[in-house]
Chains A and B, each alone.
Chain A
């Protein structure tokens, strides 16, 4: 699952802009399989947590309305170049993944 998250964290001035792309189907639970007519069960990321040096600095809580293969961007301050940023997610089936990137 290591490749399921792509992160870029870039410091410019005193703001670090973090951009992430996560591979995930983000099924709403409302969609039907066209062949069988059965509903496709909901499968979506519920929480994305960003840690820097072991401290949680940003949390995203998502519902199924977030698009497939989610894109997330946010800004951090008071972090330094070279700090390791860790992004991890948990979905409604209990699956999870995480990835790390150094702030450039």
Chain B
């Protein structure tokens, strides 16, 4: 995981290098590499592999995923994820299975964070929303289907 992050960081430096010289970016924000391959992946497995270097995950009842049963407007779907794992939670990802790019958001937690995040995402159509939690070096997940009556990605 570490080596991958460093590699990505180096790559990003090359691409965004021009941005720095133009004074657009602070070096700090460049160091934390945005995992482009995870967000451009078109399947859940690819997205997880790109983000966590594995797509092996156990389903867990200790993850609490709050999402509406029916979203009238797929452009704004409130998702809340919390977990009470036995170990510290290092990361939480929110994945919309049927979106063109399933990886919607990922959160890196520290020793100062509780395993709780809430945000709003777009759903292109009725889809399973998957919450993935990384804890103690393993991935755990839970999912819930959200019915969408108006898509969030169309024009």
Binding site for B on A (CB under 8 A): 15, 28, 30-34, 46-47, 49, 52, 55-68, 70-79, 88, 90, 94-96
Contact = CB atoms under 8 A, between A and B. Distances in A.
Interface stretch (B55-63, B110-118, B130-138, B139-147): B110-118
Given A68-B75, A74-B118, 7 more contacts: A30-B100, A61-B106, A62-B104, A62-B105, A67-B77, A71-B119, A76-B114
Given A15-B114, A67-B76, A74-B116, A59 B108 contact: yes
B113 A74 contact: yes
A33 to B, nearest CB: 8
B117 to A, nearest CB: 5
Nearest to A58: B113
Interface string B61-84: 000000000000001111010000
Interface of A is mostly: strand
A3 to B, nearest CB: 20
B45 interface: no
A63 B103 contact: yes
B153 interface: yes
Interface in B34-57: 34-35, 39
B155 interface: yes
Contacts of A63: 39, 101, 103-105
A76 B118 contact: no
